[in-house]
Amino acid sequence: MEGRRLATIEAIDVHYSYRQGVDVLRDISLKIGPGERIAIMGENGAGKTTLVKHFNGLLKPTSGEILVDGVRTRDISVAQIARKIGIVFQKPENQFFAETAEEEIAFGLRNFHFKEDEIARKIDEAMRFASLEKYKGRSPFLLSGGEKKRLAIASVIAWDPEVLMIDEPTIGQDMSQKNRLASFLKEVSTQGKTVVIVTHDVDFAAETCERVILLSSGLIIGDGRIEDIFSDVELMRRASLLPPRLAEVLRGLGLSDFSPGIFRIEEAEKLIEEAIAR
């Protein structure tokens, strides 16, 4: 896909309440730089999806500001921001309306006024990227759960936004789908794009992200490198999260003291091999 551009998102003292008195987000300040891989985590109702909806202007803060490349989200349309920040929501069915998978991908591209020949090319690219080539002419509603999710992602990635945000990418996905999605996200990331996922899946986050933002009752209770956050037992408990299984395995093997921040398969393999050699 095209040469990379950069996008920076900044939240300054964001508060949000649906109704008077019920705060969904409080004191949210953070910065998301280009090329980062971030997992937003926290218990149900912590405000994760609400926060993500702020990033492309679907929701506007009750007080405070969200800046996308220095421009306040209040001052531009959702469509303008969406060109830079692509968000894939939880339920793919909520966005499918076209007769074919191909047309589904074309929707965003047409909205952003791509030329027809370019649209055809981008559809092919996105289809290949999501390994859906053979389903081009099929109705989106007839795809399997995992394929639907990938089509939803493909329909966003097609217009090449600088930031890709996915709400709950792993819900209802089996192991092989998850692995596929993980490598898919890594590939997106190697293209220099920012990847933000909202998830409960600690293992998946450990596999794909390098930074975690922990939310609890609308507050950021942790923001940092995944190694540091996931090793902080107290913090994890407050966010109602269990440490990744890999960390548990290493602890069970008595290896966690050697390197507390290891959650990725390859690193763990190395550690175990070294231990055996010893």
Partner 1 sequence: MMALEGFKFRRGQSFIHRADPRMKFILSLAFMTSAVLIMRPEILLSILVVQMLILASGRCLRDWLRSLKGLLLLLALIFAAQMLVTWSWISAITYSLRFIVVTSTMSWFFLTTSPDDLGLSLEQIGVPSDFSFAFTMAIRFVPVIGNEFQSVYDAQRSRGLEMEKGNFIQRIRNYVPIMVPVFVDTIRRTYEIADAMEVRAFGAKPKRTRLNILVVKPTDWALLFAALLLFAATIYYQFFLHP
Q: Which residues are at the interface with partner 1 (CB under 8 A)?
A: 53, 56, 58, 77-79, 82-83, 86-87, 89, 91, 93-97, 107-108, 111-112, 141, 155-156, 159
Name 101's bridge partners: none
The residue among 232, 226, 186 whose CA lies nearest residue 208 is 186
> Smaller CB distance to partner 1: residue 53 or 150?
53
Burial class from Cβ neighbours inside 10 Å (0-12, 13-18, 19+) for residue 51 reads buried
> Which residues are CB-contacts of 175 (< 8 A; sequence separation ≥ 6)?
none
Which is nearer to partner 1, 16 or 230 (by Cβ)?
16
In sequence order, which residues have a C-beta less than 8 Å from that of residue 70 and are 6 or more positions away?
8
Phi-psi region of 174 (alpha: psi -120 to 50; beta: other; left: phi over 0): beta
For 85, the 3-state DSSP assignment is strand
Closest distance between partner 1 and the C-beta of residue 95, in Å?
4
Identify which of residues 111 and 131 has a Cβ nearer to partner 1 in the complex. 111
* Maximal CA-CA distance, the chain: 62
Nearer to partner 1, 19 or 134 (CB): 19
- Classified as helix, coil or strand, 266 is helix
Q: Which is nearer to partner 1, 19 or 278 (CB)?
A: 19
The least CB distance from residue 48 to partner 1, in Å, is 15
| Least gap, CB of 66 to partner 1 (angstroms) | 15
Smallest distance, Å, CB 96 to partner 1? 6
**Cα 251 to Cα 32: distance, rounded to the nearest angstrom:** 32
Q: Is 124 exposed, middle or buried (0-12, 13-18, 19+ CB in 10 A)?
A: middle
Give the nearer residue to partner 1 in terms of CB position, either 11 or 82.
Answer: 82
Backbone angles phi, psi at 122, to 5 degrees: -70, -35
State the nearest-atom distance from the C-beta of 100 to partner 1, in Å: 13
Min dist. Cβ of residue 249 to partner 1 (A)? 38
Q: How far is the CB of 123 from partner 1 (least distance, A)?
A: 14
How far apart are the C-alpha atoms of 19 and 272, rounded to whole Å? 52
- Residue number, 79 or 265, with CB nearest to partner 1: 79
